[in-house]
């Protein structure tokens, strides 16, 4: 498969511990801090849910990803999660290379990573970090507009010595913002 022009995603979020970020609305806060499967939550808000795979390959990790992941050989997987065709979430995951070759993440393709992470409860989720960002290039390429900054979250999933980092940026049409229309 050839990668999308969106791979790697044109965003460079600055991550903060959750208590450093003011989230203006309880509904949004609830979405950002929900430790369950985001896939399942999104599926409950649409008729057709789709994982659009942008790319999955060995690529440069950011300095902060490297610090968290350590020396594990990794591949980066990036997707757009779509509900009824609308881009709802842009996600970047750092996966142990070994588990994508022979193991739970082999042949993942456009199946949701969440189905595996939450299926057998082997992976333990660590606390969320949050970000706020403007992502003009990403939004333009996706054909979206936003009147407000976007929120995102990331957390580490741990299983034995394996580390999986999942970062999710909530795009303007995501139901996480549904009750919130700031001026």
Q: What's 37's DSSP letter?
A: -
* Residue 139 near ligand ISJ by CB under 6 A: no
Q: 84: phi > 0 → left, psi -120 to 50 → alpha, else beta; which? A: left
Tokens of 134: 């403007």
Identity of the residue, 48 or 147, whose beta carbon is nearer to ligand ISJ in the bound complex: 48
Contact 117, 154 (CB under 8 A): no
- Nearest distance in Å: CB 183, ligand ISJ: 29
Cβ atoms of 170 and 131 closer than 8 Å: no
| Among residues 117, 142, 169, 171, the one that binds ligand ISJ under rule CB under 6 A | 117
CA distance 52 to 77: 11
Does residue 21 touch ligand ISJ according to CB under 6 A? no
For ligand ISJ, the binding residues in 67-96 under the rule CB under 6 A are 77, 79, 81, 89, 91, 93
Q: Which residues are at the interface with ligand ISJ (CB under 6 A)?
A: 37-39, 51, 77, 79, 81, 89, 91, 93, 112-114, 117, 166, 168
| Binding site feature residues for substrate | 77, 113, 168
């Amino acid at each position: 498969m050839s990668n999308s022009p969106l791979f790697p995603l044109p965003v460079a979020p600055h991550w903060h511990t959750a208590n450093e970020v003011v989230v203006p609305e309880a509904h949004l806060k609830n979405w950002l801090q929900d430790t369950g499967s985001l896939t399942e939550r999104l599926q409950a808000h649409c008729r057709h849910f789709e994982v659009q795979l942008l790319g999955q390959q060995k690529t440069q990790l950011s300095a902060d990803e490297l610090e968290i992941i350590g020396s594990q050989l990794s591949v980066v997987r990036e997707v757009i999660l779509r509900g009824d065709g609308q881009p709802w979430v842009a996600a970047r995951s750092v996966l142990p290379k070994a588990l994508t070759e022979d193991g739970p993440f082999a042949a993942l393709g456009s199946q949701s990573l969440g189905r595996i992470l939450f299926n057998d409860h082997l992976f333990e989720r660590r606390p969320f970090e949050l970000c706020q960002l403007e992502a003009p290039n990403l939004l333009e390429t996706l054909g979206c507009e936003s009147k407000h900054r976007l929120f995102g979250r990331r957390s580490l999933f741990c299983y034995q010595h394996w580390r999986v980092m999942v970062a999710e940026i909530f795009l303007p049409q995501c139901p996480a913002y549904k009750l919130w229309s700031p001026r």
